[in-house]
Structure 1
Amino acid sequence: MKIKALALLAAMTATTAMAQTAPHERQARDIYEKVIAFRTAAGHGQMPKMTDYLVGVLKAGGVPQADIAILPLGETNAMVVRFPAAGKPSKKPILFSAHMDVVDARPEDWTRDPFRLIEENGYFFGRGTSDNKAGVTALVSTIVRLKAEGFKPKRDLVFAFIGDEETLMATTKLVAAHPWVKDAEFAINTDAGGGALDESGKPVIYLVQGAEKTYATFELTVPNPGGHSSRPRSDNAIYDLAAALARLQAYRFPVMANALTRDYLGAVGKSMPGEVGEGLRAFAANPQDQKASDYLATQPEFVGTTRTTCVATMLNAGHAENALPQKATATVNCRIFPDVKVADVQAELARVVANPAIQFKVLNDPQPSPVSEMRPDVMAAITRAIHVDYPGVPIVPYLESGGTDGKIYRIAGIPTFASSGLFTKTSDMFAHGLNERLAVPAFYKGLGHIYRVTKDLGGR
């Protein structure tokens, strides 16, 4: 009886909480639940089904079919939605972007079903809850909410929903070239930019992404004649590759900094106590401070902001347990500081591994992404939106150590600023990992943030 009573109390509490939310929030939660259920990872063919669902929501919310474009590509697709200006546009369009795909999750590894939205202990659990189906939901919710209000923007607002951000970003290139998008004055990307909470839940700082490092992946291969395992050779492809990776592990690329990274690290340093804050402040004041840079090199959260980084992520070697390996290959993923050439990083890797027999191959086609200089109008709109829920929190631009669709837009000539409106604790960051989660209040406040920024920039 006690268990049943507790279950009934929990259900009543959840029902009461939902009753207290606004209609647009209840609809957004329903959208969120639906999109989490689509396994939109590469290879599962779920993207067209999710897009069909979103089209239904948008059309029911008043978006005409003529303002929705589907861009198919293989098993996936992108979607572009136009919210036209009322009358003759006063300025160029604004692009808002989110990606619909996710990194795959194996249900057997998770504590909960990753493709079912589960609300528990103040969190939403599920693959994509933070990366980036909260952003997808916020954009769809904003479009429908503005349609219901009869909002009349002074310029075209264009909303992009990307189908392969986690892999090739080929649909992002289709979107960037689309007639509704290619002349955009700037873009707001929901896939990055966000706020930091300390472990007590106090807001510390809000970050707006204005630049990204170049994403480049190299394959390092050691060839060898091989032979019978009963006749070991002095040269062995696996040992030679292991020795090369050990040298790479011990190596640090030179310290680098620009105005954006120094401002960011200095601002974060002011809000953080102890050795971390001291190191950040010291580095911001003088990037050549050896003690500070050495300390930050040990901090995964900040090392990527201070230099180019390269790390081994995959291995493949040998062909039989009773044969010497004829080939050993390592995949090395690099996040390259702005204005550094991919070829220069490859040359430095070759110097570090110090084995001329190692063959290098660059995967895909890495392209440097330019820095987007911060716009006062964009920063002002983001600041106003954030301060509604988090009064007085510092708003600071930063360099993204990871990679997003923003680099494709920037390469296409569209300055891009990432702002999700989501505040999280460092201990709650599980994007791409097991048991991905987002605090329930962060989801609802993120909805409000995107709505306010869209209305502010579109109506002014």
Structure 2
Amino acid sequence: MDFRQHTEETTRLLQDLLRFDTTNPPGNETPCIDFIARTLARDGFESTVIESAPGRGNLVTRLKGDGSLPPILIFGHVDVVPAEANRWQRPPFSGDLHDGVLWGRGAVDMKNMVAMEMMTMALLKRAGGTLRRDVIFMANADEEVGGVFGAKFMVEQHPDLIRAEYGITEGGAAGLELDGKSFFVCSTGEKGMARFTVRGHGKPGHASQPHMDNPILPLAIALQKLIQKPLPLHVTRTVRAQIDALSAEVGGELGRMLQALLDPATHDDAMAELPLSDAFKRRLNATLRNTATPTILQAGTKINVIPGEAAAQVDCRVLPGTTPESIAAEVRAVVGDAVEIEFGRFTAGQEFDPASPLLDVIRQSVREHVPGGIVIPGLIAGGTDARHTSKIGIKTYGFVPTRYEGPTMVGLAHNHDERISVNNLMFGTQVLHDVVAKFAR
């Protein structure tokens, strides 16, 4: 199939998606979901649209196969994180196309993937022929705030609409160029969550009469330790498989440096020496340890009053295999005993087998589009809706096929000036279509 004829259609589709302000909170995804339903209807798809709450729309449609193999689910969320418009070069909900690049909140996370999935469904339908698997598409709300009104709702309230053997959603990383070779990451696992609050306690009083029993002091010391001293190194099955695959391909001194990342005694020096972008190093480092990042501070309410308590909320992401008890012990060992630590809800990390028929098809399709292209497993440092779909047995992989286009096009999710090139959008659409077509036939 010559995908060049579909460039304008795919580009316009993503532009339209980007122009819906689905900032979460509040989300207000239903207008975007209704647009998706209307667009799919042009190719004869009948979609089921379900609101989990007013304005919180979710959509499911299905391309029927003959049922000889279990379904595959391709899915993505349409909500986005807030954007500081005054910090952007172009309005974040404009969908501007400039010099072959599409700008907008969601261009990378993850309306780009939703557009790729919609085009995949449309092109499979137009091509006709018999599929052995049903191909299910879901566009959902609320991933950015936990999925209660999105994938979690669909899994708990409407599981039969989306039940499948395998799933593909966001994840992986932009293509990686290393030692002259092109690598593509398919996420076969992701970290869980163990957010917590750190509190310093002290003696309130008038700010004109300072004293050392100010609760901000023990809190500040604890946060400094959290930021400056990483939590211990842990090597999961997924990351070991990733490093082994990378080092086997590149070999030599570079391969040795990669393996050295897995040893606490040599990790820091190896990370400093690796010829990788800072953005990729940050992602890689986050897959080798639990992380605890302070993000919200709360203390006094009047400038002339020393508060009795100061608190910080900490975003904590945990590796597969971590327990509530083990992460609590790691954090306490770093911050000491001068502060109180209160953990919220714990969500475990997860891993799927990196050896699977779906991953084999992904590897084959990538090689067809990028001769010599290598697909490696990876662990998502954040979280996705896979944590919900896995609860009904869907083996969910994170794979947004995009090529490396230089350091300025890396790390744009949740960032100012989020954008994607039309070339990468079309590359991803072709690869995703081929993966789904091969796997479903």
TM over 0.5: yes
Alignment partners' CA distance in 1, 2:420 and 2:253: 28
* Segment drifting more, 410-419 vs 238-247: 410-419
1:260 aligns with 2:238: yes
Name the SS of the counterpart of 1:57 in structure 2: helix
2:122 match? 144
Q: How far does the alpha carbon of each residue in 1:47-95 deviate from its partner, in whole angstroms, 9 at most, with x for none?
A: 111011111001111112xx42424335422211122224xx1122211
1:439 CA displacement: 2.3
Equivalent position of 2:190 in the other structure:
212
* Aligned CA distance change for structure 1 residues 377 and 114 (closer, same or farther; 3 Å): same
Q: Does 1:417 align with 2:392?
A: no
Distance in 2 (CA, whole Å) between partners of 1:46 and 1:203 is: 42
Q: 1:82 to 1:319 in 2, by over 3 A?
A: same
| Shift in Å, 1:209 | 0.5
The alpha carbon displacement at 1:195 in A equals 4.3
C-alpha distance in structure 2 between counterparts of 1:194 and 1:309, whole Å: 19
In 1, the alpha carbon distance for the partners of 2:63 and 2:349 equals: 28
Paired position in structure 1 for 2:275: none
The 8 Å contact of residues 78 and 161 in structure 1, kept in 2 or not, is answered as yes
Indicate the residue corresponding to 2:154 in structure 1.
175
> Given the alignment of the two structures, is residue 290 of structure 1 paired with residue 265 of structure 2, yes or no?
yes
Instruction: Give how far 1:380 is off.
Output: 1.9
CA contact (8 A) 2:48 2:61 kept: yes
Name the aligned partner's letter for residue 230 of structure 2: R
1:322, 1:373 → 2: CA distance? 57
Name the CA distance, whole Å, in 2 between partners of 1:179 and 1:419. Answer: 22
Query: Structure 2: how far apart are the matches of 1:44 and 1:240?
Result: 35
* Residue in structure 2 matched with residue 17 of structure 1 by the alignment: none
Counterpart of 1:223 (choices 184, 188, 201) is: 201
Distance 1:259 1:445 in 2: 30
SS of the residue 1:161 aligns to: strand
Change (3 A) 1:115 1:362: same
SS in structure 2 of the partner of residue 248 of structure 1: helix
Unaligned runs of 5+ in 2: 273-277
Partner of 1:359: 340
Cα deviation 1:369-422 (Å, max 9, x = unaligned): 331112431122111221222111111111111211112222332211111111
Q: Give the aligned CA root-mean-square deviation in angstroms.
A: 2.6
1:199-239 deviation line (CA, Å, top 9, x unaligned): 99x76201110001112211112233411112223211111
Name the counterpart of 1:6: none
1:457 to 1:77, Cα distance in 2 relative to 1, 3 A = same
| Corresponding position of 1:321 | 303
Structure 1 contact 160–175 (Cα < 8 Å) conserved: no
Matched residues in 1 for 2:110 and 2:245: separation? 26
1:427 aligns with 2:404: no
Between the two proteins, what is the percent identity of the paired residues? 26
> Residue in 2 aligned with 1:193?
172
- State the match for 1:42 in structure 2: 24
Code of the aligned partner of 1:108: N
The CA deviation at 1:132 is 0.4
**Offset of 1:118 from its aligned partner?**
2.1
Structure 2 equivalent of residue 166 of structure 1: 144
Against the structure 1 CA distance between its residues 82 and 342, is the aligned structure 2 distance closer, same or farther, given a 3 Å change threshold?
same
**Are the counterparts in 1 of residues 199 and 311 from structure 2 also a CA contact under 8 Å?**
yes
Inter-CA distance 182–199: structure 2 relative to 1 (3 Å threshold) = closer
> Contact (CA 8 Å) 1:195, 1:204: kept in 2 or not?
no
Cα gap change, 1:134 to 1:418, in 2 (>3 Å): same
TM-score, normalisation: structure 2: 0.90
Counterpart contact for 1:105–1:127, Cα < 8 Å: yes
Q: Does the residue aligned with 2:382 lie in a helix, a strand or coil?
A: coil
Number of the residue aligned with 1:51: 33
- Structure-2 change in CA distance of 1:242 and 1:274 (3 Å): farther
Given that 1:420 and 1:449 are in contact with CA atoms closer than 8 Å, whether structure 2 keeps it comes out as no
Q: Is the 8 A contact 1:196 1:426 kept in 2?
A: no
Residue deviations 1:114-139, cap 9 Å, x none?
11122223422211111101111011
Q: Which amino acid aligns with 2:172?
A: G
State the aligned residue count. 429
What is the TM-score of this pair, normalised by structure 1? 0.86
